Amino acid sequence: MTDLSIPSSQSTPAVEGVWEQGLLRMEGDSYPENSFDFFSPVILWIEGFLTRTQRPLTLELRLIYMNTSSVKAMMDIFDMLEEAHREGRQVRVRWRYDPRNERVVEMAEDFREDCTFAFDIEADEADEARGAY
């Protein structure tokens, strides 16, 4: 019904929500001063999707560095997905990372520990060519 598009900035990731496909992408670093403000529209979009449709929802993440307040906001998002999953909804997270940066895997695994829905953490070989961090 409504798509979401937030361009990336120095300290915030690019966000793209495609309503028809039930797909939310987030990519980049996240360390805004006020993570609560930044993540509010994202949380509202997911909430809207989960209440107004019955379709599956997939989160495609390529988040790299996150400050602790972004981690907290992300945990709120995964809690919403977990609740939906327990109510029988089909939700899935795919977290892709640069294989040279194992810290991202550790962070993603920290999140996955608290989730029972499908949560894949996949090395992205294409990142080898790029130079991040």
Choosing from 24, 42, 46, 64, the residue that interacts with another protein (CB under 8 A) is 64
Q: How many CA atoms lie within 13 Å of 62's alpha carbon, on the beta-carbon side?
A: 15
| Residue 92, token pair as written in the block | 């899935």
**H or E element that contains 1:** none
Residues whose CB is less than 8 angstroms from the CB of residue 34 and which lie 6 or more positions away in sequence, other chains included: 69
Rounded CA gap, 74 and 30, in Å?
10
**129 sits near another protein (criterion: CB under 8 A):** no
**133 sits near another protein (criterion: CB under 8 A):** yes
**86 sits near another protein (criterion: CB under 8 A):** no
**55 sits near another protein (criterion: CB under 8 A):** no
Nearer to another protein, 7 or 131 (CB): 131
Where on the chain is the footprint of another protein (CB under 8 A)? 10-11, 31-33, 36, 64-65, 67-69, 71-72, 75, 98, 100-104, 110, 131-133
